[in-house]
Structure 1
């Protein structure tokens, strides 16, 4: 009995020493691969693009290239609004059980002239639902062209930052930075002048990547 007790103490001491040195077995020290759920609109749904060329597809490629163990689920729908995303999200969370949720919605709300307060409430509800399900959230902000009016545009852009700050979520302030705000923006858009073209997709990914990488690094 005395010998067995000593063996147990020795094993515990060895385990503690290994933990202090960072030598725990991979099974204990590692974590499950990330599962990233993207809930967006046409900007994320490859509208007008060849399949596999949108920024979400490029994200999958970048994760693989950088050896980040992760799966990406693209649940984006062209034309979707924050109300649509809010109604779809509970089922998506239950089905996929994501570790991370990227919310890229709001542009169609503005195009339809929907109340800013409603968009804000929907973004907040989606963020809360994802966090309650155990996921880390990245909110992707949208800014409007000048023709929408300076006051309206500023109020609309502010809702993304406000919700992210309130819910302590990560934020991309302007998804189309380097696409819509360059001297010759038409070079980055399809013929409809609304949807970014294939060349713009890597810029959009570069806008998302730093914030998402930071979230993934915190796992």
Structure 2
């Protein structure tokens, strides 16, 4: 056999052995941030939206994760329920579910909001998709009775479905004008960074639980 041919065969065999020995790159954990304008990144550059900033923060800490932004500005829980199946593709491991703020702003009965969220959590779990539930607080102008009925539903749902709960999405931002855009309701880029920082430990624990499920 000519030397060049033998050399070529040897190189091919070495490359084949190396390709077998090399471990396959780990597939990133697929998450979906499902919510309203607070998730979508209202009036912010796409790269400053919560799912993008959260993915970056997790990757900086070594987590292999890909987070899809499925936030829709103005969405209510009824709207979320209607689009849930096609907004969360097969292969998704977990959903960060954040909805309810627009229900409160519109004065929708909390019982209806809770029922919609209940159906969403049940639907995701039936597909084998884990849920991290994110809570909101009713505006004070809705009155004490409304606030009590609304604010307590997230904890009830978390207990019912045995899913983790992050109690208040806007924690650390809602009372700080410098972390909000001009409407005084939505976070600016710095505000989103604060939200990510505060929520990061909960999301890391959520990711860990996904690994334990596999």
TM-score scaled to structure 1, two decimals?
A: 0.80
Counterpart Cα distance in 2 of 1:145 and 1:88: 26
User: Is the aligned partner of 1:213 residue 2:208?
Assistant: no
Contact 1:140 1:208 in 2 (8 A): no
Question: Of 30, 42, 63, which aligns to 2:58?
Answer: 63
TM-score scaled to structure 2, two decimals?
A: 0.82
Report Cα offsets for 1:171-203 as digits up to 9, x if no partner: 0111111111x4xx2222211112111221012
User: Is the aligned partner of 1:79 residue 2:70?
Assistant: no
User: Is the aligned partner of 1:151 residue 2:148?
Assistant: no
The match for 2:183 is: 192
Counterpart Cα distance in 1 of 2:114 and 2:50: 25
Instruction: Report the secondary structure of 2:165's partner residue.
Output: strand
Report Cα offsets for 1:106-165 as digits up to 9, x if no partner: 000111111111100111111111111111101110012322222211221111111111
Structure 1: 5+ residue runs without aligned partners? 1-25
Question: Of 155, 179, 201, which aligns to 2:192?
Answer: 201
Contact 1:97 1:133 in 2 (8 A): no
Question: Of 118, 131, 135, which aligns to 1:137?
Answer: 131
Instruction: Report the secondary structure of 2:67's partner residue.
Output: strand
Instruction: Report the secondary structure of 2:79's partner residue.
Output: helix
Contact 2:104 2:139 in 1 (8 A): no
The match for 1:3 is: none
Quote the offset at 1:62 in angstroms. Answer: 1.1
Question: Of 161, 165, 172, which aligns to 1:171?
Answer: 165
Instruction: Report the secondary structure of 1:213's partner residue.
Output: helix
Quote the offset at 1:31 in angstroms. Answer: 7.4
Contact 2:81 2:119 in 1 (8 A): yes
Structure 2: 5+ residue runs without aligned partners? 1-22
Contact 1:43 1:78 in 2 (8 A): yes
Contact 1:41 1:78 in 2 (8 A): yes
- Following superposition of structure 1 onto structure 2, how do residues 90-105 of structure 1 map, counting pairs within 5 Å? 90-93=85-88, 95-105=89-99
Change (3 A) 1:108 1:73: same
Counterpart Cα distance in 1 of 2:69 and 2:186: 18
